[in-house]
Amino acid sequence: MSPSATSLRTHLCGELRAEHVGTSVSVCGWLARRREHGEHLAFFDVRDHSGVVQCVVDRTVDVRSEYVVRITGEVRRRPEGTTNEGLSTGEIEIGECVVEVLNVADPPPFPVDSRADDVDENVRLRHRYIDIRRERMQRNVRLRARINSAIRRAMEAQNFVEVETPFLMPSTPEGAREFLVPSRKEPGSFYALPQSPQLWKQLLMVAGVDRYYQIARCLRDEDLRADRQYEFMQLDAEMSFVTQPDVLAAIGRAVTAAAKEATGQDVPPIQQITWREAMERFGVDKPDLRFGMELVELTDVFAKTEFKAFASAAAIKGIRVDAATYPEQAAWGRGRLDAITDRAKQLGAKGLVWLKVTAESTLDSPVAKFISADETAQIIARFGALAGDMILIVADDWTTTCEVLGQLRNDIGRPPVHEGPYRYVWVVEFPLFVGIDAATGRPRPGHHPFCHPHPDDLEYLDTDPLRVRALAYDLVLNGWELGSGSIRIHDPAMQRTVFNKLGISDDEADRRFGFFLQPFRYGAPPHGGFAFGIDRLTAILAGEENIREVIAFPKTQSGLDPMTNAPTKVDEAQLAELGIRVLPPATK
**What gap in Å lies between CA 371 and CA 393, rounded to an integer?**
13
pLDDT at position 438, please? 83
- At 491, which CATH number? 3.30.930.10
All residues at 6 or more sequence positions from 170 whose CB lies less than 8 Å from its CB, including other chains: 191, 192, 512, 515
Q: Is residue 128 part of a domain?
A: no
Are 171 and 221 contained in the same domain?
yes
Tens digits of residue pLDDT in 474-504? 999 999 999 999 999 999 889 989 998 888 8
Q: Is residue 23 packed enough to be buried (19+ CB in 10 Å), middle (13-18) or exposed (0-12)?
A: middle
Alpha-carbon torsion angle 87, 123, 481, 437, nearest 10: 180
Are 409 and 517 contained in the same domain?
no
Q: Is residue 436 part of a domain?
A: yes
Are 58 and 33 contained in the same domain?
yes
Structural domain range at position 295: 291-414
Q: Is residue 263 part of a domain?
A: yes
Give the model's confidence band at 275: pLDDT under 50 very low, under 70 low, under 90 confident, else very high: very high
**What gap in Å lies between CA 552 and CA 530, rounded to an integer?**
25
Give the model's confidence band at 439: pLDDT under 50 very low, under 70 low, under 90 confident, else very high: confident
Calculate ∠ Cα 459-464-469, nearest 5°.
Answer: 70
pLDDT at position 503, please? 87
Are 469 and 539 contained in the same domain?
yes
pTM of the complete model: 0.91
Written as one letter, the residue type at 352 is: L
**What gap in Å lies between CA 413 and CA 291, rounded to an integer?**
7
Of the candidate ranges 39-48, 85-94, 327-336, the one whose mean pLDDT is the lowest: 327-336
Read off the DSSP letter of residue 583: P
Q: Is residue 585 part of a domain?
A: no
Backbone angles phi, psi at 177, to 5 degrees: -70, 140
Q: Is residue 114 part of a domain?
A: no
**What gap in Å lies between CA 21 and CA 437, rounded to an integer?**
73
**What gap in Å lies between CA 559 and CA 246, rounded to an integer?**
38
Residue 166 has pLDDT above 80, yes or no: yes
Average pLDDT over residues 385-408: 95
Are 264 and 377 contained in the same domain?
no
**What gap in Å lies between CA 449 and CA 172, rounded to an integer?**
10
Residue 171's Cα: distance from chain center in Å?
A: 25
With contact defined as beta carbons under 8 Å apart, do 357 and 363 qualify?
A: yes
Residue 195's Cα: distance from chain center in Å?
A: 16
b/e sequence 31-48, b meaning 16+ C-beta within 10 Å: bbebeeeeeeebebbbbb
Domain finish residue from 358, 393, 414:
414
Q: Is residue 472 part of a domain?
A: yes
Are 494 and 406 contained in the same domain?
no
Domain finish residue from 88, 103, 118:
103
Give the model's confidence band at 226: pLDDT under 50 very low, under 70 low, under 90 confident, else very high: confident
Residue 411 has pLDDT above 80, yes or no: yes
3-state SS class at 67 = coil
pLDDT at position 585, please? 83
**C-alpha R_g of the chain:** 30
**What gap in Å lies between CA 465 and CA 442, rounded to an integer?**
10
- At 371, which CATH number? 3.30.1360.30
Average pLDDT over residues 73-96: 95
Tens digits of residue pLDDT in 5-34? 999 999 999 999 999 999 999 999 999 999
pLDDT at position 185, please? 92
Are 528 and 477 contained in the same domain?
yes
Residue 176 has pLDDT above 90, yes or no: no
Q: Is residue 7 part of a domain?
A: no
Written as one letter, the residue type at 327 is: P
Average pLDDT over residues 514-529: 91
Q: Is residue 61 packed enough to be buried (19+ CB in 10 Å), middle (13-18) or exposed (0-12)?
A: middle
Tens digits of residue pLDDT in 544-569? 999 999 999 999 999 999 999 999 99
Are 321 and 198 contained in the same domain?
no
Are 215 and 336 contained in the same domain?
no
Domain finish residue from 351, 381, 414:
414
pLDDT at position 586, please? 78
Q: Is residue 383 part of a domain?
A: yes
Are 216 and 168 contained in the same domain?
yes
Residue 501's Cα: distance from chain center in Å?
A: 32
- At 25, which CATH number? 2.40.50.140
pLDDT at position 330, please? 74
pLDDT at position 588, please? 64
Are 430 and 408 contained in the same domain?
no
Structural domain tally of the chain? 3
Average pLDDT over residues 447-460: 92
**What gap in Å lies between CA 412 and CA 537, rounded to an integer?**
24
Are 236 and 212 contained in the same domain?
yes
Indicate the average pLDDT of the chain: 94
Average pLDDT over residues 185-191: 92
All residues at 6 or more sequence positions from 152 whose CB lies less than 8 Å from its CB, including other chains: 162, 215
Written as one letter, the residue type at 508 is: E
Residue 210 has pLDDT above 60, yes or no: yes
Helices (H), 347-424: 373-383, 398-413
Strands 68-77 and 24-37: antiparallel
**What gap in Å lies between CA 114 and CA 49, rounded to an integer?**
15
Q: Is residue 571 packed enough to be buried (19+ CB in 10 Å), middle (13-18) or exposed (0-12)?
A: exposed
Calculate ∠ Cα 450-178-165, nearest 5°.
Answer: 65
